[in-house]
Amino acid sequence: MATRVSPMPLVAANWKMNPNDAGDALDLVRGVLSVARGHADRVEVAIFPPFPWLLGVSEVIAESGVKLGAQDCFWELSGAYTGEVSPAMLKGWCEWVITGHSERRIYLGETDEMVAKKTASALGSELSVIMCVGELADHYDAGTSDQVVEAQVRAGLANCSADDSARLVIAYEPVWAIGTGKSADAEHAYKTMRLIRRVVGELIGAGAARKVRILYGGSVNSGNVESYVELPLCDGVLVGSASLDAAEFAHIVKVTAEVYGHR
């Protein structure tokens, strides 16, 4: 087996707007802690709880090696922006933030331009960023996935440079695969991740692009995770529903550690 040259794989848990109870949030993170800690030398694990649970979760994971992230941020660092949370507020106790998730694009009307501003602002505040891209079912059916994903990557990285590469992750999440149980087949995921890698290379240079990690997301579970993480271009997974089940998420971390340990 060839030695893996790309950075450590990332397994990220996007809890979305769950759970409703603070105690349940802490139980959930405690449930994945021992497995995540046991594989910390081979897999980076990052948890993205809703804003109100960030502080409590940060206390549980302190010193464990498990990373914390927010599911969104605003692009300005402070000011009269009611309801928004700035990268400057997250910095210090969150290492990560997600930008451009399709649920924000769809339900809150986030545009590529907004995603670009958020991504650049978070990177400028020394946060690491998972920027999400992915086509709708209509695009997939029409065979235009590549054009849509390429446009999202180009627009979203409009304000980024090679200096950001080590803290930049792009998650390919086909919208039709999110929360549907209809995960993308590995070949489609591979081809799209290859396209993303090429486009990132054109934007920030091939050398820097190699440091950018590319994840797959969309109905990932313990049964299908191997088919993604064994893809040569895949640097990990962004997990939604399955991350709300501690045993299931721990299994995803374990499988990822095993696959990358053999590369």
Site for ligand 13P in 230-259 (CB under 6 A): 238-242
Query: What is the b/e burial string over 131-153, where b = at least 16 CB atoms within 10 angstroms of the residue's CB?
Result: bbbbbbeebbeeeebeebbbebb
Query: By C-beta, is 90 or 252 nearer to ligand 13P?
Result: 252
Site for ligand 13P in 79-118 (CB under 6 A): 101
Is 150 among the catalytic positions? no
Distance CA 63, CA 14 (A): 21
Site string for ligand 13P, 149-188 (x = CB under 6 A): ------------------------x----xx---------
Catalytic residue among 101, 110, 135, 251: 101
Site for ligand 13P in 204-223 (CB under 6 A): 217-220
Could you tell me the smallest distance in angstroms from the CB atom of residue 47 to ligand 13P?
Answer: 12
Could you tell me the smallest distance in angstroms from the CB atom of residue 77 to ligand 13P?
Answer: 25
Is 76 among the catalytic positions? no
Which CB contacts under 8 angstroms, 24+ apart, belong to 135-139? 135/174, 135/175, 135/176, 136/175, 136/176, 137/175, 137/176
Could you tell me the smallest distance in angstroms from the CB atom of residue 134 to ligand 13P?
Answer: 9
Q: Which residues bind ligand 13P (CB under 6 A)?
A: 14, 101, 173, 178-179, 217-220, 238-242
